[in-house]
Amino acid sequence: MNSLHTNDLRKAVEPSLQGRVAIVTGAGQGLGRAFAKAFAMAGAIPVIAERNHDKGSAVAAEIGNQAFAIHTDVADPASIDSMVAEVDRRFGRIDILVNNAGIYRAASTLQVTEDHWDAVLTINARAVFFASQAALPTMIAQKSGAIVNLASMAGKIGSANNLPYNASKAAVISITKSLALAHAPDGIRVNCVCPGFVETDMWTSVSTELGALTGVLAEEFTRRRLASVPLGRMERPEDVASVIGFLASSRAGYMTGQALSVDGGLVMH
């Protein structure tokens, strides 16, 4: 279910990013891993910015070539600054930043605690801004760069049992628009993607936690969600990677400040 489809990945990003340096946060698994692999296939140098050393190193070894992992805790601005400084020192440039790291926790509105709220907003939203802020000076100096943030369809809709998560993803959409407006004169484009029900380890958590809150098993919860997707299947990491690759490339050179839904038709606006 969580396997990466190599042929789909190869199609996801054309070999148009030769030599570009692409930082992907949270690239030790799931979507981030798919993005890093897709960038490598396009000729870019992926930087796996990952809190889990073993997972990050495994992905870098899997990709090979110039890919490398660097320990990064996106909840800690000092760790983000250190990661960006190391990438700048090693390569002298940062062409692409994908703010992918994120967490999920379900709870009804009356169950949400301050710790729950702070944890989700810190990782999912605050880190997006501070990672972007850290990379911006290098991009401004080179007068080019592409930042792609991971929002979610959750950022465009309401939810009875996901309020902090939905709020965090709505914040990502807002951060994207403000950064895009602020740094368009610097030659930097900032966009975000809004996936739907993606087959990753995070979906396992989503289906388990929301299933428990709604009184059904995870398998039944997934079956019901699948039945609601107009295109008739669950989303794969490669479906998102194709759009990430497009937004990071010159093919999207006249796009900035956009929040693109990649969700099989779940949100149509």
At 1, is the pLDDT very low, low, confident or very high (cuts 50, 70, 90)?
Answer: very low
Q: Can you give the length of the chain in residues?
A: 269
The structure tokens 């299947």 sit at: 233
Amino acid 254: pLDDT: 97
- Alpha helices of 48-126 — where are they, by DSSP H? 53-63, 77-91, 114-121
Residue 4, pLDDT score: 59
Domains of the chain: 17-195+236-262 (3.40.50.720), 197-234 (no CATH)
How far is it, in rounded angstroms, from Cα 169 to Cα 103? Answer: 11
Residue 269's pLDDT band, with cuts at 50, 70 and 90, is confident
Check residue 11 and give its pLDDT: 52
Q: ∠ CA(37), CA(42), CA(43), 5° rounding?
A: 100
Residues 6+ apart with CB under 8 A from 157: 166, 267
Q: What is the pLDDT of residues 22-60, one digit of tens each?
A: 999 999 999 999 999 999 999 999 999 999 999 999 999
Q: What is the pLDDT of residues 150-195, one digit of tens each?
A: 999 999 999 999 999 999 999 999 999 999 999 999 999 999 999 9
For residue 15, pLDDT over 60 is answered with: no
Asked if residues 39 and 61 have their Cβ atoms less than 8 Å apart, the reply is no
Please report which confidence band the pLDDT of residue 8 belongs to, taking 50, 70 and 90 as the band edges.
low
What pLDDT, on a 0 to 100 scale, did the predictor assign at position 51? 96
pLDDT tens-digit readout, 197-228: 999 888 888 899 989 998 999 999 999 999 99
**Range of weakest confidence among 3-7, 68-72, 263-267:** 3-7
Say what the pLDDT of residue 204 is: 87
Q: What is the dihedral of CA 188, 236, 74, 92, to 10 degrees?
A: -40
Render pLDDT for 50-93 as a digit per residue (tens, 0 to 9).
Answer: 999 999 999 999 998 889 999 999 999 999 999 999 999 999 99
**Catalytic site residue 254?**
no
Question: Active site residue: 35, 39, 130, 165, which one?
Answer: 165
Per-residue pLDDT of 99-151, as tens digits, reads 999 999 999 999 999 999 999 999 999 999 999 999 999 999 999 999 999 99
Handedness of CA 112, 114, 115, 119 (dihedral sign): positive
